[in-house]
Amino acid sequence: MAERVEEWREVRPVLPLNGELETALASVDSLQAAWGESIAKASPKEFQQARLRTLRRHAIETGIIERIYDVDWGVTEALVAEGLALEVAEGAEGVLSPETLAIIQAQFDALEYLSELARGRRQLSLSIIRDLHKLITKHQKTYKAIDLLGNEVDAELHHGEWKKWPNHVRRPDGTLYKYAPPEQVEQQLQTLLELHRGAQGIHPLVRAAWFHHSFICIHPFEDGNGRVGRALLLLDLLRGDFAPLVVDRTVREDYVAALEAANHEDLRPLVRMFVELEKIALRSELHLPVETPSSFGAAAVARAHVPRLRERREVINQQRRLDGESLASALHERMQKHLERLGEELKAAFHEADPDAWYSLDASSPPDPRSQWWRHQIVRAAKEVDFWANLAEGVWWIRLNLSLLGQSLRFLPAIVRVGDRDVGVMAVIVSAEMPHPSTETSDDSEPALPTPLIRLLSSDSVTVVAGQNPDDVWPEVEALLDRTAAAAVDAFARKLS
């Protein structure tokens, strides 16, 4: 049987994309406008701290995507928040080798280099791409290669040099996918750069997706092509006044599938993925850390917070605030009806296992004092999907409680304001947990904390912006509810069986 081979193709201009992406691009543009309004009120130092968090996350995740190393979630969050240092990892009770940290730091340095480049007028060139490869692979001496006999060997990695031998990839189905041959690399990259310079009128996220896929198809280096390609995303995004998006470990399979679709001339899945990841990046940067004095004296810390607290009393944009609350209320109502139907379906589905199975539904929204409930669950969920939950004026929550065989499942979707400035950006998130049955305890004992049933991925949320039509947002919210509820019910049933 003949081997299936997919031949390489020369770089081509951006293909026309149909209108189904217009709504997605419009939604990220609305979020970008709100983000821009928020950061305009921040000091340069505050904005720098928010941006550093994003770049650190990118630097960590880009190596995990390639399976060069692994860093657990707790250590990742500590490094993102506090800085790239071994002491930070140890403080998070995690393990991080000096070698891994050196690789991450080199990747971070490359991102800072590109950030500086984006602020200037220097055009992207072949020499810049080679320099970027040198920075990213600085601490990588070898790479996995296949010799003439088909054996995997550790070969020397040549930093900043184009590949000298073909580096095709064999897919899991056995297909041989060919990248540009070595003798074509420089010409193909030069063509790509020329086409990129001529595509300035295209939306930055579409241009970034096209450029990224085209670069991956060339695969100009022996190794490190994915990391260089993801770093290069920063140029289009930063020059288009967007935040650096992060392709993290939780979307690796979708990312590979989107690149595969682009191989077959459908760039839309990759654009849609980048739109969603850009929303996550913008949403994350809506929280700007307050810079407090190094002395950390109580009075000094209080004075540092005064401008932010005073600003909270001012209405940044009253109409946007009202539009945001109206959108949240409309979605909240639809979510309640959806969960009422889900509760009935779950009760009927579990009736054979437990005729006494039942469910209950409760909900609240601002300004009801109960809208301040479930703070622990909401903060935990927000951290998992990487944004700062603004709980100052309450949230729109719904609690679906399912009782089965004497145990309970608590499913808790909520609509939460994002960031410390109310600019009309909100996120729909969920929490699912299994409360411990009430037991006889002494008065001074601590109640047992509920057991979380699901861990959210970065994609397990929906960002909504004031002014959006609920009809446009609802399909995505409905899909989130159904997906996470199914995962929660599965985890709950497994614990009972």
The verdict on 86 and 231 lying in the same domain is yes
Collapsing DSSP to helix, strand or coil, 361 comes out as strand
Residue 169 buriedness (CB in 10 A; 0-12 / 13-18 / 19+): exposed
Total domains, the chain? 2
Residue 412 buriedness (CB in 10 A; 0-12 / 13-18 / 19+): buried
The verdict on 237 and 280 lying in the same domain is yes
The verdict on 260 and 407 lying in the same domain is no
Q: How far apart, in whole angstroms, are the C-alpha atoms of residue 41 and residue 38?
A: 6
In the listed set 258, 284, 310, which residue is the last one of a domain according to the structure? 284
- Which H helix or E strand runs over 197? helix 185-197
pLDDT digit of tens for each residue in the chain (497 aa)? 457 888 889 999 987 776 678 888 999 999 999 898 888 877 888 888 889 999 999 999 999 999 999 999 889 999 998 999 999 988 777 789 999 999 999 999 999 999 999 988 789 999 999 999 999 999 999 988 776 666 778 889 999 999 999 888 887 777 888 899 999 999 999 999 999 999 988 999 999 999 999 999 999 999 999 999 999 999 999 999 999 999 999 999 999 999 999 999 999 999 999 999 999 999 988 876 545 454 456 555 555 544 554 554 444 567 778 888 999 999 999 999 999 999 999 999 999 899 999 999 999 999 999 999 999 999 999 999 989 899 989 999 999 999 999 999 999 999 999 987 778 899 999 999 999 776 444 344 455 678 999 999 888 999 999 989 999 999 999 999 999 999 999 999 999 88
β-bridge partners, 5: 176
Q: What are the tokens at 44? A: 């340069």
The verdict on 355 and 261 lying in the same domain is no
In angstroms, how far is CA 368 from the centroid of its own chain?
Answer: 32
Is residue 477 within 8 A of residue 331, CB to CB? The reply is yes
The verdict on 140 and 259 lying in the same domain is yes
- Which H helix or E strand runs over 364? strand 358-364
Neighbouring residues of 264: CB distance < 8 A, sequence distance ≥ 6:
none
Q: How far apart, in whole angstroms, are the C-alpha atoms of residue 168 and residue 8?
A: 10
Tokens 């929280």: give the residue: 287
Is residue 365 within 8 A of residue 328, CB to CB? The reply is yes
Q: What are the tokens at 310? A: 């005073």
pTM assigned to the model: 0.85
Q: How far apart, in whole angstroms, are the C-alpha atoms of residue 213 and residue 262?
A: 7
Residue 246 buriedness (CB in 10 A; 0-12 / 13-18 / 19+): buried
Amino acid at 66: E
- Which H helix or E strand runs over 410? strand 407-418
The verdict on 267 and 369 lying in the same domain is no
The verdict on 101 and 219 lying in the same domain is yes
First CA to last CA distance, the chain: 47
Q: What is the pLDDT of residue 291?
A: 53
Is residue 415 within 8 A of residue 432, CB to CB? The reply is no
310 found inside a domain: no
Q: What are the tokens at 492? A: 């709950």
- Segments forming the whole domain that contains residue 488: 318-437+447-496
Write the CA distances from 265 to 17, 54, 259, 299, integer angstroms.
10, 31, 10, 60
CB atoms within 10 A of CB 151: 8
Cα dihedral 179, 182, 184, 189, rounded to 10, equals 70
Q: How far apart, in whole angstroms, are the C-alpha atoms of residue 467 and residue 180?
A: 46
In the listed set 241, 266, 284, which residue is the last one of a domain according to the structure? 284
CB atoms within 10 A of CB 128: 17
Q: How far apart, in whole angstroms, are the C-alpha atoms of residue 361 and residue 341?
A: 11
14 found inside a domain: no
The verdict on 327 and 466 lying in the same domain is yes
Q: What are the tokens at 402? A: 């399912």
169 found inside a domain: yes
The verdict on 332 and 226 lying in the same domain is no
